[in-house]
């Protein structure tokens, strides 16, 4: 029997995700891909993917984001047909595909290592999936020319992959995935081998191309900024389960739990005591005794210990002459980093806890280690994550 002791996502998220899958089944959502209670085990004991219910909308750019070993690549491989689920069902355009081989799924795939044939020209590499599908002659030549033009490589068709830069090779791999007009394109860490500047440029190019063509893309990465830049929605994976599925703004500003809060960008997590919950807000006692007002969370009540999330950029220098400023946190600076457009402060509060604050350059001044400062943040920018486990 397969068993697992992996952490589960919040009940609120699990219920919401099942509702999406249920809506897709009933035709209420224009869905191209659907996972229904999909599980994957390699050893018959532990799940690497567990209880996956996920609907991918037609024409959207969905990113599977998570650390190594979180289950995101295994999920992509099951969708592509390179792995078979242990349990559950995968639907593509309403039809079950978990037993179909990859070549029967009409899916384009872009790998991190490009997987180009070095002995073929660029045009021949792009034409390969057409030849496999029996498309030849003028039709194939026209499609290859169109694909080359799409990725701005129309003058490179006669070159070999070894004569191209990494970014150009990645464009060839993308053109090959698009040339046979698939219903879905899967991308597995496709920009991981590129340098930072080229990677950022390719992110924008891929997103522009996806939007222009209206094609559905499912993208795997461990890079948070890449996911935030490119995605319509992001599924955050951890220990084989989706912890949260949301658009980038919601994911960043309203993380579902501690893992999401700490994995997506920097975050200050404070263990607080809940004093009062009313009108959607909770009054808390923070480390050091400060009182903080934060957006409440269902299931968290007075007298409980709960985790509070504050993004570093939401912390400001409190003005002494502004009595309306709430959520004041006083502490001592223990680190100062000048980063050009902002100053990064580490401020020790309550003896043991440190807060990270990003002070924008126009508001910054010269700070000194050991200086006492008071930080503040709006109550709408602070969120309770969950009760202490």
Residues 26 and 57 occupy one common structural domain: yes
User: pLDDT class for 23, splitting at 50, 70, 90?
Assistant: very low
Write down which residue in 260, 282, 313 finishes a domain.
260
Residues 145 and 154: beta-carbon distance below 8 Å: yes
Distance (Å, rounded) from C-alpha 293 to C-alpha 380? 8
Take residue 232 and report the two structure tokens written for it.
């319509």
Do 84 and 203 lie in a common domain? yes
Asked if pLDDT for residue 132 goes beyond 90, the answer is no
C-alpha 69/C-alpha 6 separation (Å) is: 12
Q: What's the average model confidence in pLDDT over 218-241?
A: 96
Q: What is the sign, positive or negative, of the torsion defined by CA atoms of 95, 100, 104, 106?
A: positive
Q: What is the CATH number of the domain that holds 97?
A: 3.40.50.300
Instruction: Establish if 93 belongs to a structural domain.
Output: yes
Strands (E), the chain: 31-41, 47-57, 61-65, 87-92, 95-96, 107-110, 184-188, 216-221, 233-238, 241-246, 268-278, 281-285, 291-295, 305-310, 316-317, 328-338, 342-349, 353-360, 372-376, 382-387
Specify whether 286 is located in the same domain as 319: yes
Q: Are residues 353 and 220 in the same domain?
A: no
Q: Is residue 294 part of a domain?
A: yes
Same domain, yes or no: 69 and 216 = yes
- Could you tell me where the DSSP H helices lie in 166-318? 166-178, 196-213, 224-230, 248-253, 258-263
What sign does the dihedral 185-189-193-196 (CA atoms) show? positive
Q: Which pTM does this prediction carry?
A: 0.85
Domain boundary among the residues 202, 236, 260 is at 260
What is the DSSP code string of 314-354?
G-EEPPTT-TT---EEEEEEEEEEE-SSEEEEEEEETTTEE
Among 212, 240, 260, where does a domain finish? 260
pLDDT tens digits, 52-83: 999 999 999 999 999 999 999 999 999 999 99
Q: Do both 203 and 320 map to the same domain?
A: no
Q: Answer yes or no: is 154 within a domain.
A: no
Q: Is residue 85 part of a domain?
A: yes
B/e letters for 367-387, b = 16+ CB within 10 Å, e = fewer, are beeeeebbbbbeeebbbbbbe
Q: Please check whether residues 21 and 46 belong to one and the same domain.
A: yes
Are residues 250 and 316 located together in one domain of the fold? no
Q: How far apart are CA 62 and CA 176, in angstroms?
A: 20
The number of distinct structural domains making up the chain is 2
The tens digit of pLDDT for each residue in 192-229 reads 878 888 889 889 999 999 999 999 999 999 999 999 99
Ranking 21-35, 81-95, 105-119 by mean pLDDT, the lowest is 21-35
Q: Based on the domain organization, do 256 and 193 belong to the same domain? A: yes
Tell me how far apart the alpha carbons of residues 218 and 61 are, in angstroms, rounded to a whole number: 6
Give me the percent of the chain exceeding a pLDDT of 90.
Answer: 63
Give the three-state DSSP class for 373: strand
On the CB side of 291, CA atoms within 13 Å amount to 7
pLDDT for residue 388:
62
Residues 205 and 252 in one domain: yes
Residue 20 confidence (pLDDT)? 44
Pairwise CA distance, residues 349 & 329, whole Å: 7
Question: Do residues 226 and 187 lie in contact, with contact meaning Cβ atoms separated by under 8 Å?
Answer: no
Q: If you average pLDDT over residues 181-194, what whole number do you get? A: 90
What is the predicted pLDDT for the residue at 389? 58
pLDDT at position 347 over 80: yes
pLDDT band for position 322 (cuts 50, 70, 90): low
Parent domain of 209: 11-106+183-260
What mean pLDDT value characterizes the chain?
A: 88
In a domain, 62, yes or no: yes
Any domain includes 42: yes
Show Cβ contacts of residue 215 under 8 Å, excluding neighbours closer than 6 positions: 59, 178, 182, 184, 185
Q: Is there a contact between 367 and 333 (Cβ–Cβ < 8 Å)?
A: yes
Entry field: residues in the chain: 389
Angle at 309 between CA 306 and CA 314, to 5 degrees: 150
Assess whether 295 and 380 both reside in one domain: yes
- What CATH number did the domain enclosing 323 receive? 2.40.50.100
Confirm whether 222 is domain-assigned.
yes
Q: What is the pLDDT of residue 324?
A: 56
Question: Is the same domain home to 237 and 324?
Answer: no
Query: In this structure, is residue 112 part of a structural domain?
Result: no
Q: Exposure string (b/e) for 115-135, b if CB count within 10 Å is 16 or more?
A: ebeeeebbbbbbbbbbeeeeb
């Amino acid at each position: 029997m397969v068993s697992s002791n992996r952490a589960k996502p919040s009940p609120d998220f699990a219920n919401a995700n099942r509702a999406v899958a249920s809506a897709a089944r009933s035709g209420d959502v224009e869905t191209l891909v659907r996972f229904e209670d999909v599980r994957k085990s390699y050893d018959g004991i532990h799940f690497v993917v567990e209880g996956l219910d996920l609907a991918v909308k037609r024409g959207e750019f969905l990113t599977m984001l998570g650390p190594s070993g979180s289950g995101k690549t295994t999920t992509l491989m099951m969708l592509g047909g390179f792995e078979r689920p242990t349990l559950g069902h995968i639907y593509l355009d309403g039809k079950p595909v978990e037993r179909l081989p990859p070549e029967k799924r009409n899916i384009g795939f872009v790998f991190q290592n490009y997987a180009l044939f070095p002995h073929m020209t660029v045009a021949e590499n792009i034409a390969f999936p057409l030849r496999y599908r029996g498309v030849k002659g003028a039709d194939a030549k026209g499609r290859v020319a169109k694909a080359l033009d799409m990725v701005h490589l129309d003058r490179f068709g006669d070159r070999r992959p070894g004569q191209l830069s990494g970014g150009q090779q990645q464009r060839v791999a993308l053109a090959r995935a698009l040339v046979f007009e698939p219903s879905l394109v899967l991308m597995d860490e496709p920009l991981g081998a590129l340098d930072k500047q080229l990677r950022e440029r390719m992110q924008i190019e891929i997103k522009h191309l996806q939007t222009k063509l209206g094609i559905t893309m499912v993208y795997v990465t461990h890079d948070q900024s890449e996911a935030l830049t490119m995605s319509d929605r992001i599924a955050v994976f951890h220990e084989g389960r989706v912890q949260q599925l949301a658009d980038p703004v919601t994911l960043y500003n309203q993380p579902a739990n501690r893992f999401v809060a700490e994995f997506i960008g920097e975050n200050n997590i404070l263990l607080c005591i809940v004093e009062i919950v009313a009108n959607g807000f909770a009054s808390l006692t923070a480390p050091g005794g400060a009182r903080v007002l934060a957006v409440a969370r269902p299931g968290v009540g007075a007298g409980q210990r709960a985790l509070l999330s504050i993004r570093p950029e939401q912390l400001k220098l409190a003005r002494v002459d502004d009595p309306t400023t709430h959520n004041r946190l006083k502490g001592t600076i223990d680190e100062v980093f000048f980063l050009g457009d902002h100053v990064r402060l580490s401020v020790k509060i309550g003896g043991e806890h440190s807060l990270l604050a990003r002070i924008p350059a126009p508001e910054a001044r010269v700070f000194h280690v050991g200086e006492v400062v008071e930080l503040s943040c709006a109550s709408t920018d602070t969120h309770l994550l969950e009760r202490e486990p």
